[in-house]
Amino acid sequence: MLKVTTNTSTPVSSTARSLINSVSTPIVLTIAGSDSGGGAGIQADIKAISATGSYACSVITAITAQNTLGVSAIFPIPLEYVEKQLDAVFSDLNIVAVKVGMLADSDIIKVVTAKIKQYKPAFLVVDPVMIATSGDLLLKESAINTLKTELLPLADLITPNLPEGAALTGSSLPTCEDDMGAMIQSLRQLNVNAVLLKGGHLEQDENSNDLLIFQDHFEQLTAKRINTHNTHGTGCTLSSAIASYLAQGHDLLQAVKLGKQYISNAIAHADELDIGSGHGPVNHFFAGHADV
């Protein structure tokens, strides 16, 4: 069994709090790929940010030909147009939090990193999207090192699932909770503020347990595992919800707890939808209003 150490979560800085309080509508930017099937990527991000009470804007890094059965093609957006999108939103909108998802190659990672450094949003959540639910590779292997050295050190939180955690650390894929615990030290060596290691792939477990890992302690977050095939876009949705809650002024631990509560409910209501013939999407608007 994992031993859980409880400690006070990282507080919101006075500068970030001032930025949050200066706007009536918290604005969250998602930088990610477009999912033509609507269940993941930019489309899932916008739904999650909206459903959790923030305003969503977007920068598209790639177009995917994708549905509930898988990804059949990926077309990266030319760098010039990624950069123009970033300048357009940052120069006009008071963006408090940024969620970064699919970045197809090293060049796009470098452009996004440069713009994050230039505009300095209060919060950065990075979902290191490498592998789709269907198993399709979404990030070129050559770009993984660029992601680790350029972008991840800027993040307040990264949200890898187990295959992504293994790819980032060069570890074996965890098959049990003890294996997740054994990965903690390697994840700390990534030089990031905090890591949310998601245990959803341990499908044999009764609960879906995640580890929120800081440099000096970690928290185990538990939710009842829900039996459904409709889990397309769960990672995109969770990271976007966390960014939304950070933009609203919650500290990191509370934002993660609220995000996990939101995604658990979205998964629990997923079978109310009838979308596609593969892994369908979660139900982002299960509540019917923004209070989730």
Residues assigned a catalytic role: 198, 231, 233-236
Buried/exposed 71-83: b ≥16 CB within 10 Å, e otherwise: beebebbeeeebb
Q: Virtual CA dihedral for 34, 38, 40, 43, nearest 10 degrees?
A: 60
d(CA 113, CA 82): 12
> CB of 43 within 8 A of CB of 240?
no
Sign of dihedral through CA atoms 204, 205, 210, 215?
negative
Residues 110, 56, 35, CA angle at the centre, nearest 5°? 65
